[in-house]
Structure 1
Amino acid sequence: MHFSALAASAPTTQSVPLDKGWQIAITDFEGEARLTGDNVTVPKPANPRVPNSRVAAKRGDDGSVTLQFSNTWIAQARWQGGKPLDLRGHLPRGTVEFDLDVIDLAKGGMKFKLGCGKDCERKIPFLFAGRELIGKGPQHMSFALTCFWREGDDFSKVDVPFTLEGTGSGEIKIAKLRIHKTGKATSACPDYRTQSVTPERLQESWAVDWWLPRHEAKLAEIKAHRDAGRRVDLVFLGDSITQGWENEGKAAWASHFARHNAVALGFGGDRTENLLWRLQHGELDGMAPKAIVVMIGTNNTGERLEDPALTVAGIKKNLDEIRQRQPQATVLLLALFPRGEKPDDLLRRHNARINALLPALADGKHIVFLDIGPRLTNPDGTLSKDILPDFLHLSPQGYDIWARSLDVPLTSLMTP
């Protein structure tokens, strides 16, 4: 990391308190309110998408802010509206510090965020660590400012210096929020340079209840094939798009892949590090498939707009794991499917940068690269809701196109 030029060019102060001079916006994904008094509840729209959700906040006499949320996709307490901060001189030794009281998070998750320039924010997931703190009272948190920084980020005019984000249901109090020029970090955070290659369970509140049970169910499914003497010749690895073979893609799966005793190991929300965890915890064990279809990485884009080279490193790490565990199998590495309605969509363009790097991972023998994206798009590059209803996940028609696109490649790979 290169910080010397940043530190030399930026004036600094020793400590920036965020309890004065900043507005606090309380939001969910459908509304927003300002915490100007003692408490506020985010108003519901006329036709809410989640009618039973609630997001509220209250301010304590000590300046603390308590975020209360239930049944919500996203709830935020966002510090904004003050004079933008020049934090360049706070790198690399600066810290973000606060007292954290996790009152309830048994059915929720949390993240901390910091702005990093126009249309840019960085986040620290804190679900597992946060649940360990339930009921333990205020705990002092000190994160290195570099936890929120990536090479190339602009810290010269930070206009959203902190956001507390919750999902699901919970109650969290933040107090004594400060940004220090120099400090001692005592709270761990992921290293963005290695996050995609470091195995981890999916850290999202909406996934906690089903993710590990699904993993165990998939191990049982593989064992059932083995106990019945059925050879699993084909395996799919991926995220929610692969998991969709069990739902919208069920008919296409039955027509094209069931005869191979195929197994779909797709988990909604997974990034490269989550698939890697599953592979290292047995999901490829106990079978010897002829071919393995892999598509992973679009959630690295959607969750953290990760540098394409880092996502590709995560994909390569998974390929290495697959080759080590199943050396007899030929891997069909798929380009990430197009997402976003139009060709100029930010996430679509980001995935295209990843796809441009993927052919280098294939040798044409053990690993074969295939891009079927053009078959899913209109001639002008836009996406049709008939094929990708939400411009990310496939419809039954989309799964039929995917299945038919694999018939010839898989026949070639699975034929001795």
Structure 2
Amino acid sequence: MSAVRKTVLAALLTTSVFSAQAQAAPDITILPAPASAWRTVVGHWETQAELSGDSVVLPAPTAEYARASTLGASTLSSGGKREAVRLDWKNLWSATLRFESRQPLDLRPYLGGTLEFDLDVADLGQGGVRAKVACGDGCERSVNLIAPARAAAGKGWQRVALPLSCFAREGADFSKVSLPFALDSTGSGRVSVANVRITREARPGLACPDYRTESVTPAMLDESWAVDWWLPRHKEKLEEKRKLIDAGTPPQIVFIGDSITQGWEKEGREVWQRHYAKLNGLALGFGGDRTENVLWRLQQGEIDGIAPNVAVLMIGTNNSGHRGENPATTAAGIKRLVDEIRQRLPQTKLLLLAIFPRGEKPDDGLRALNERVNTLIAGFADGKHVHFLNINAALLNADGTLGKDVMPDLLHPNDKGYGLWQRAMAPTLDKLLAAP
């Protein structure tokens, strides 16, 4: 066990009385169990249904792009107990199989132990799964299993074990947990789960990323919906950059970021053509990227061999959205990127943008995380090489709400949103482009 993980657990296991309770705690068995033992729920982003009988099929989401989707679950029972549950899903952005406790569980005695289960992967070529455990009121954390799960496809039942500390963070409250286990899924697939238990003693198993350093550790994006296109897109961007150099028209401006930056090639294309194409602009935005994914791309050559006048960086909303990450950790990832860009582009002025607002209302939880990040990263500006700009007010209504006429999904701008971005950024960007 790493020193970091020991520190987290030590903070949670604080008294000798509690240690004695931990030694006495029996393992928690989720499967096999009578159907009444747990509230087993299947769902997607629009609806959920309890698996109260042998099977359940959910209606498809109402959105046009998801109407051909399917989601269902079935059980294998013996001797009055559910032995296994199978989840089938197709063309879904997110689906879940949840085992909810009918009475809150105290998982503190188990934080030195293991979540373990058997997984039978029938099909996962176009999908992915995550193991999830709740960590307090409104707190749920997951571990990506795409690599081991895909490797197990067609091999029958395979044992999976994860340290329960994978789901622990400072401040997490494991004293009243209502969700001891869930499988979240995306894309398409068919998997079965059995022999699910939480042990109070550590068992050998899979490693999980160190949440304290994940944002600064270079990594490719390994989400199921990205693995097929992410690396090819990186290679395409290297080729796009090479062609600009060979043509004697190297980029004068580079945008670096996630799907919001990638949107310059789609919803923002017309604005891009009017304002940035003449600068031989290079858009290095990849949907779903967190700070560590951008860091990997930069270290693999995406900005090598060029010297643009300005690089525009906006990143971090996926650190918040995918992981609910501590703002200080996200800010550390952004600082690591600032340093990387400065090292590779020493003559380039860096325009660091505040993370855009998300969610409809000012009190949206993920927007609040992003705003805390913005407060931290504003301090990275030195007024000479690194410049910070917050244009978020230009994207919001007067009452602080975010309109769907600017961001239809309350996260990604449409053509109007990209126009607002361009106009709000123009005064600062023009000065930086004109500066020697």
Shorter-chain TM range is over 0.9
In structure 2, how many angstroms separate the alpha carbons of the residues matched to 1:66 and 1:411?
57
Q: Distance in 2 between matches of 1:54 and 1:387?
A: 31
**Range 180-189 or range 106-115, more displaced:** 180-189
Match of 1:65 in 2: 85
The 1:304/1:164 distance shift into structure 2, 3 A limit, reads same
SS in 1 for 2:120: strand
Aligned equivalents of 1:346, 1:95: Cα separation in 2: 30
- The 10-residue stretch of structure 1 (139-148 or 3-12) with the greater mean CA deviation from structure 2: 3-12
Give secondary structure in 1 for the equivalent of 2:363: coil
Does the CA contact (< 8 Å) of 1:26 and 1:34 recur in 2? Answer: yes
Q: Which residue number in structure 2 is paired with residue 88 of structure 1?
A: 108
Over the aligned positions, Cα root-mean-square deviation in angstroms equals 1.8
Supply the AA of the counterpart residue of 1:40: V
Residues 27 and 42 in structure 1, CA contact (< 8 A), matched pair in contact too: yes
Equivalent position of 1:22 in the other structure: 38
Shift of 1:49: 5.9
Correspondence 1:229 to 2:248:
yes
Pairs within 5 Å for 1:269-308: 269-308=288-327
Query: Residue in 1 aligned with 2:4?
Result: none
Note if contact 1:103-1:135 (Cα within 8 Å) is conserved in structure 2. yes
Correspondence for 1:372? 391
* Residue identity opposite 1:6 in structure 2: L
| Alignment-derived partner of residue 54 in structure 1 | 70
- Write the distance in 2 (CA, Å) between the matches of 1:326 and 1:129: 38
Equivalent position SS for 1:179: strand
Q: Is the Cα–Cα contact under 8 Å of residues 14 and 182 in structure 1 kept in the other structure?
A: no
Pairing 1:334–2:353 present: yes
Question: Post-superposition shift, 1:48?
Answer: 7.1
> How far apart are 1:171 and its partner, in Å?
1.1
Alignment of 1:249 with 2:255, yes or no, is no
Higher deviation after alignment, 291-300 or 335-344: 335-344
Report if the CA contact (8 A) 2:404-2:410 is conserved: yes
Q: CA deviation at 1:47?
A: 7.5
The answer for the alignment partner of 1:135 in structure 2 is 154
Q: Taking structure 1 as reference, are residues 4 and 407 closer, same or farther at Cα in structure 2, changes over 3 Å only?
A: closer
**Relative to 1, partners in 2 of residues 1:190 and 1:2: Cα closer, same or farther, differing over 3 Å?**
closer
Name the residue aligned to 2:129.
Answer: 110
Residue in 2 that maps onto 1:74: 94
Partners of 2:270 and 2:388 lie apart in 1 by 25
> What fraction of aligned residue pairs are identical, expressed as a percent?
50
Measure, in 2, the Cα distance between the counterparts of 1:142 and 1:50.
33
CA drift at 1:286: 2.7
- For residues 169-208 of structure 1, what are the structure 2 equivalents within 5 Å? 169-208=188-227
Q: Quick one: which amino acid aligns to residue 48 of structure 2?
A: E
Deviates more, 1:300-309 or 1:359-368: 359-368
Structure 2 Cα separation of the partners of residues 331 and 293 of structure 1: 6
**1:252-292: per-residue Cα shift (whole Å, max 9, x none)?**
11222112111011111111111111111111123221210
- Distance in 1 of aligned mates of 2:261 and 2:219: 19
Q: 1:47 to 1:281 in 2, by over 3 A?
A: closer
Q: Which residue of 2 aligns with 1:3?
A: 9
Where in structure 1 are there 5+ consecutive unaligned residues?
none
Are the counterparts in 2 of residues 109 and 168 from structure 1 also a CA contact under 8 Å? yes
Q: Give the Cα–Cα distance (whole angstroms) in 2 for the partners of residues 73 and 125 of structure 1.
A: 15
Once residues 98 and 46 of structure 1 are traced to their aligned partners in structure 2, the CA distance between those partners, rounded to angstroms, is 33
**3-state SS of paired residue (1:134):** coil
Partner AA of 1:407 in structure 2: A
1:76-95 per-position Cα deviation (integer Å, ceiling 9, x unaligned): 1100143221011222x211
What's the offset of the Cα at 1:30? 2.7
CA–CA separation in structure 2 for the residues paired with 1:179 and 1:365: 54
Residue 3 (structure 2) aligns with: none
Contact preservation (8 Å) 1:113, 1:124: yes
Distance in 2, Cα, partners of 1:208 & 1:64: 29
Tell me if structure 2 keeps the 8 A contact 1:30–1:48: no
Instruction: Describe the shift of the 1:59–1:373 C-alpha distance in structure 2 as closer, same or farther (beyond 3 A).
Output: same
Describe the superposition over 1:17-75 as per-residue Cα deviations: whole angstroms up to 9, x where unpaired: 01222121111223322223332222346787622111112222461112111111222
My pick for the range that moved more, 354-363 or 60-69, is: 60-69
Give secondary structure in 2 for the equivalent of 1:315: helix
Letter in 2 for 1:95: T
Is the partner of 1:208 in helix, strand or coil? coil
Q: Mind listing any 5+ residue stretches in structure 2 that lack a counterpart?
A: 1-6
Q: CA deviation at 1:174?
A: 1.2
Counterpart CA distance in 2 for 1:5 and 1:129 is 31
376-385 or 353-362, which deviates more? 376-385
Q: Per the alignment, do residues 80 and 217 of structure 1 end up closer, same or farther by CA in structure 2, a change over 3 Å counting?
A: same
Q: How far apart, in 1, do the equivalents of 2:60 and 2:318 lie?
A: 29
Give the deviation of 1:5 after TM superposition.
Answer: 5.7
